[in-house]
Amino acid sequence: MNINHSLHAISIKPPFYHDGPDAAIHRYLDAEFINRFQQDMQQQRFTLPQFSSWMQEDKHSPYDNKPVLRLPLHRAFHLVCCEVVCDQLGKPALDPQRITSAGFVIRRINGKQEYAWQLEDGEALGWQPAPTELRDPDIHRRLCANGVLQKRTIQPIYSGEEVFPLHTLDARDETGKRHTLLFGYVPLGGFYYHRDTGVAFDALSQKAVVDADAQSLSWPFGYRKPFKRAWNDTIARPVNAGKPDQPFFELLRLLVNRYHLGDEAIESNSALAKKMDQLWFYDENAFSAQLKKTGYRESSRMLFTAYRKSSVWSYLRGCFAQRGENPLVRWIIEQEAAIDKAGGIDKLSSFSVLPASSGKKNLNWTLFISESDAEDIRELLGQRLREQALAKVQEIPLPKFTQDSEDTYQIIPFVRSLNDQGKEQIQWVENTNRSILFRVAAPFDPEASRPSLIQMPSLSDLKRGMAKGASFITPPDTFNLINNLKLKKGAGEGVLPDSEPGPGLGIQWVCSFSLPVITLVAMILLMIMISLLNIIFFWLPWVKSCIPFPKINKGS
């Protein structure tokens, strides 16, 4: 095979109608932007606002004067356009028949470092450091610049970054000269999931979160100040005859509410469950006189073995195994109500006796722990929090375009074309001819948002026709609750009876509501909440604006 194929020298330039050295970015405010752009090119409307003046309107970044590109949800759409020419005297337009494909990539520029949006097997990996040289982004196109298939090497010759298509358009300028334009839609959405949990969080930030969570618990299970590190018999007895102290209540509330410790189906609780299975409730009433004088220590732990009743894990598991209501959950709610009534947890004299997991009404046993037990619990809570955060970050879709001060972006076009021997070659735009640096608006950026007109119903519409609109399929118990709501009393304790709820076994209801009613209710509730929060934030002039508006002429 002759590897000395001659190249057909081409270059990518700004479009002929564009004044700057960069690839042009246009903004359209309607969904027919592709047709609009093509018509603008055919009719030589190169002075329209979408070609240049929109950038001055959208320079509202709090960090600098770079333009901020809006999102499709703002009903704004952006196109990038460049021109491909033969790199010879006169810069004639490249024959569109030579172009096999064209596209562009979007890079995140942070100072001098570039980041490419990487894909692997079609799945987004997020922003990764871009290669210093411009490689072909397609793994299936292992081609040299002269069109010869290159052998696979350790160093990849493809970038694997996401590519967006550019389309050819044959256009002419005011003098009649022919130009080959490349244009394409700039998609400003997308998200990804963290796959590498090892770099999901900043190490210092992760430590700060764990330390802050430890401050939410009292000693010996946390580090909330003030606390005394000296170990004593009182600390070693977190539950006395069924009554927990404040630190153990806080621990119990955290384990039940946040981690649902006791639910055997949650495998991520295994380390905590194993530790709780080593902590025991004891029948202190059966202690011998000598044992009552003996403090609970690591060295004396075995002396208490004969008086074990239930491990903490068995107790929690029994509470979660109850059909219907978990007795421990109800008990925690009752204690929180008592805390509110007392004016704070520090002002509550004592907690009530723990409920029994089954059988007896209350638990009258005593729990003993050692200093090493408390240290293990503190360590396991921090580990569980880190695991939960890492598991959560793998489920959360992270936005592709973010709005921090260093988040600027740039479009880099390329074109694949046939050389003089019919071999495919790739040509990237020069650095000086890339697009300008830009930012991307946040979904709720007030500067980027455009007015959305919603027609409110008239009050006369409320009594017209049947209740058609939003329909809810309602189980018997939910229907019974809704059906028993009282106009003046609302939802009281007697709304849902203790007996089998609903009209009958196996019957469910479909409840339909009028759309005008739903719209009015939503509007009324919105105005009530805005007025209430205005007392705190004084924000009414910024969140609500009402002006008299004439009826719109529908035309003849």
The owner of tokens 């929090």 is 385
The owner of tokens 């002419």 is 172
Confidence of residue 368 (pLDDT cuts 50, 70, 90): very high
Confidence of residue 116 (pLDDT cuts 50, 70, 90): very high
User: d(Cα 392, Cα 380) in Å, to the nearest integer?
Assistant: 18
Whether the CB-CB separation of 434 and 22 falls below 8 Å is answered with: yes
What pLDDT is stored for residue 154 in this prediction?
42
What pLDDT is stored for residue 97 in this prediction?
93
- Is the pLDDT assigned to residue 465 strictly greater than 90? no
352: tokens are: 């009530």
Angle at 256 between CA 252 and CA 260, to 5 degrees: 145
- Using one digit for the tens of pLDDT, what is the confidence trace for 66-91? 999 999 999 999 999 999 999 888 88
Short-list 77, 81, 323, 285, CA closest to 179: 81
- Using one digit for the tens of pLDDT, what is the confidence trace for 376-406? 999 999 999 888 887 777 777 888 999 989 9
The residues, ordered by sequence, that sit 6+ positions from 197 with a Cβ below 8 Å of its Cβ are: 390, 393, 394
556: tokens are: 């003849």
Look at 9-13, 125-129, 182-186 and tell me which has the smallest mean pLDDT: 125-129
User: d(Cα 518, Cα 516) in Å, to the nearest integer?
Assistant: 6
Q: What is the maximum span of the chain, computed from C-alpha positions, in angstroms?
A: 111
What pLDDT is stored for residue 495 in this prediction?
59
Residue 446 region by backbone torsions, left for phi larger than 0, else alpha for psi between -120 and 50, else beta: alpha
The owner of tokens 């049947």 is 466
- Residue 197 vs residues 200, 269, 402, 450: alpha-carbon distances, Å: 5, 19, 20, 38
Q: Residue 332: what are its φ and ψ, rounded to 5°? A: -60, -40
How many residues are given for the chain? 556
Confidence of residue 554 (pLDDT cuts 50, 70, 90): very low
Whether the CB-CB separation of 253 and 332 falls below 8 Å is answered with: yes
What pLDDT is stored for residue 494 in this prediction?
61
Whether the CB-CB separation of 368 and 303 falls below 8 Å is answered with: no
Residue 393 region by backbone torsions, left for phi larger than 0, else alpha for psi between -120 and 50, else beta: alpha
The residues, ordered by sequence, that sit 6+ positions from 237 with a Cβ below 8 Å of its Cβ are: 245, 296, 366, 367, 368
- Is the pLDDT assigned to residue 144 strictly greater than 60? no
How many C-beta atoms lie closer than 10 Å to residue 362's C-beta?
Answer: 15
What pLDDT is stored for residue 157 in this prediction?
57
CA dihedral of residues 184, 190, 194, 199 (deg, nearest 10): 60
Range with the largest mean pLDDT of 205-214, 329-338, 502-511:
329-338
- Is the pLDDT assigned to residue 279 strictly greater than 90? yes
What pLDDT is stored for residue 282 in this prediction?
94
- Using one digit for the tens of pLDDT, what is the confidence trace for 283-337? 988 888 888 888 888 888 899 999 999 999 999 999 999 877 889 999 999 999 9
- Is the pLDDT assigned to residue 259 strictly greater than 60? yes
Between 208 and 552, the higher pLDDT residue = 208
What pLDDT is stored for residue 147 in this prediction?
52
What pLDDT is stored for residue 488 in this prediction?
65
Short-list 364, 349, 360, 356, CA closest to 241: 364
User: d(Cα 30, Cα 72) in Å, to the nearest integer?
Assistant: 10
User: d(Cα 12, Cα 23) in Å, to the nearest integer?
Assistant: 9
The residues, ordered by sequence, that sit 6+ positions from 473 with a Cβ below 8 Å of its Cβ are: 508, 509, 510
What pLDDT is stored for residue 498 in this prediction?
56
Which residue type, as a one-letter code, is found at position 528? Answer: I
- Residue 241 vs residues 87, 278, 348, 410: alpha-carbon distances, Å: 90, 19, 18, 68
* Kind of pairing between the strands at 113-120 and 123-129: antiparallel
What pLDDT is stored for residue 3 in this prediction?
42
- Residue 37 vs residues 55, 169, 346, 354: alpha-carbon distances, Å: 17, 10, 68, 72
Range with the largest mean pLDDT of 26-40, 418-432, 509-523:
26-40
- Is the pLDDT assigned to residue 340 strictly greater than 80? yes
Confidence of residue 456 (pLDDT cuts 50, 70, 90): confident
What pLDDT is stored for residue 360 in this prediction?
66
Whether the CB-CB separation of 433 and 12 falls below 8 Å is answered with: yes
What pLDDT is stored for residue 381 in this prediction?
93
DSSP H/E element including 377: helix 371-393
- Is the pLDDT assigned to residue 121 strictly greater than 60? yes
Q: 451: cis peptide before it, omega within 30°? A: no
Distance in angstroms between the alpha carbons of the first and the last residue of the chain:
72
Q: Residue 375: what are its φ and ψ, rounded to 5°? A: -65, -40
The owner of tokens 């071999």 is 423
- Using one digit for the tens of pLDDT, what is the confidence trace for 401-437? 999 899 999 999 999 998 888 888 889 999 999 999 9
Between 555 and 401, the higher pLDDT residue = 401
- Is the pLDDT assigned to residue 458 strictly greater than 90? no
Whether the CB-CB separation of 356 and 327 falls below 8 Å is answered with: yes
DSSP H/E element including 535: helix 515-537
The residues, ordered by sequence, that sit 6+ positions from 334 with a Cβ below 8 Å of its Cβ are: 352
What pLDDT is stored for residue 4 in this prediction?
45
- Is the pLDDT assigned to residue 361 strictly greater than 70? yes
Look at 51-60, 153-162, 208-217, 307-316 and tell me which has the smallest mean pLDDT: 153-162
Between 393 and 490, the higher pLDDT residue = 393
Residue 555 region by backbone torsions, left for phi larger than 0, else alpha for psi between -120 and 50, else beta: left
